[in-house]
Amino acid sequence: MDNPANIIYQRRHQGTTVEVVEKEGLRCLTFGSHLRQSCMLLSDPAFLFLPYSRHMMAALLFLPQLPQRILLIGLGGGSLVKFFLHHLPQCHVEVVEYDPHIVTIAQDFFHLPKNHPRLTIHLGDGAQFFSLGGAQQAPYDLILLDAFDANGLVTSIYRPPFLKLCQDHLAAPGIVAANVSRGNKGHFQEALGNWKNAYPDYGWMVPVARSQNAILIATPHHTAMPQHMPQADQAHALGQHLPLNFIPLMERIDPIANTFWQRIAQAVSS
């Protein structure tokens, strides 16, 4: 008989139950459901256990070099933060998290460092981060949007004005990437439509294997055309620096529908 997970932390706040559960060497953060928001291998806290987090690293394939300044909107258990701090010793990471209790949980249960010289945590609404002057190290080489709550995708960070601000705070060249869920069709279509609106010719998608998640990527420095797809030599080189197989990630990247080259192809064929 399958052994149940052990609940090691539980908190109910404003109608939402936040739990930290542990089973067979795996510790996970959940928000009011059995869906895992973040997971950590106790034997390897810096490992990206959930598939979506590994697929987000596909964004690195579009950068000419490893990022030095990274901004994360949404903390969760801190998996992405720990990965970057551990494997990219030259980078500085900034995180925006709305709920201070999530920061405490990440520190107490998921090995997020409480004091790290290359980590800055901002408490506040991610959608207002730029407009309130919160950015300290802009421009950023990489901006990652990964904000979920008990209701699913936090749609406020996928509105065109905020996405445009992300582009404005990028280094040249820099990348914006987002984790979205296709589980709620309405939220997904809204996020995708806003992404196309904000980055009409620069959008890529990476469907996450065997998952409802997808990763949206924007490359404002070049259009989403076949000749700008990452190549195998790039994937192999990146795999020498980071403990990930980038070839399968590269093969899942596709331009988002209605980007520049697809509109040209449709016009030629019509």
Closest CA to 79 of 108, 118, 114, 37: 37
Which residue of the set 2, 108, 141, 146 is catalytic?
A: 146
Q: What is the DSSP string of 27-59?
A: EEEEESSSSEEEEEETTBTTS--SHHHHHHGGG
Tell me the CA distances in angstroms from 50 to 91, 109, 243, one per residue in order. 22, 17, 14
User: Which residues have CB under 8 Å from 195's CB, separation 6+?
Assistant: 158, 163, 178, 203, 216, 218, 256
The kind and range of the H/E element at 260 are helix 260-269
- Integer distance in angstroms from the first to the last C-alpha of the chain? 60
Sheet bearing 213-218, strands edge to edge: 119-123, 92-97, 69-73, 140-145, 170-181, 213-218, 203-207, 254-255
Please give the DSSP secondary-structure letter assigned to residue 14: T
Catalytic residue at 146? yes
Active site positions, annotated: 146
